Amino acid sequence: MLTNLGPLGQPYFKLSSKFGHSDSTITIMAPILVSFVGCPVSLESMEQYSKTNELPISSNRRLLQHLESKINLPLALVCVDQGDVDQYYLCCFADCSGRQYDTRELLAIVIPHAFDQLRKSSHLNFGDLHRLVVSRATYSSYDQSGKIREGNRIGGGHV
């Protein structure tokens, strides 16, 4: 989310969660890139999935923990700020360190079989797989104890 302009007019972004205001425990202000591999999923679909599985609607933390427990794979939820509309992606790989990945590197990231199965079997109405580098995004990822994952990268096995 664009919150301020820094030196030389570079945007500074606030990493926090829009889906689940109570989960916004870390705020990082920095001009960063977020690179990720994931599938678009609508806010409505996430809310419906949460209701169906008796998860708090206001918490992307519980949604991610629930999905991770099904596939035993770390996941991240990336929300790309597209101006008036935000687009959410459920990701098997995400890096918010600011490192810019080139096309070959993103294409070399292996999609875990468990993530592919989740895409096909869940009721989240996933879109097609995307491999993107964006400059306006929020990033959420939690371990099974509910704590924000240490580091700034999840997943990323290469061929």
d(C-alpha 97, C-alpha 64), whole Å = 21
Q: So where are the chain's domains?
A: 11-141
CA gyration radius, the chain: 15
For residue range 15-59, what is the model confidence (pLDDT) as tens digits? Answer: 333 444 444 434 444 447 889 999 999 989 999 999 999 999 888
Residue 85 token pair: 């509309």
Residue found by looking up tokens 């969660």 in the block? 17
Q: How far apart are CA 139 and CA 111, in angstroms?
A: 19
Residues 6+ apart with CB under 8 A from 99: 33, 35
Indicate the DSSP class of residue 145. Answer: T
- Give the global pTM: 0.78
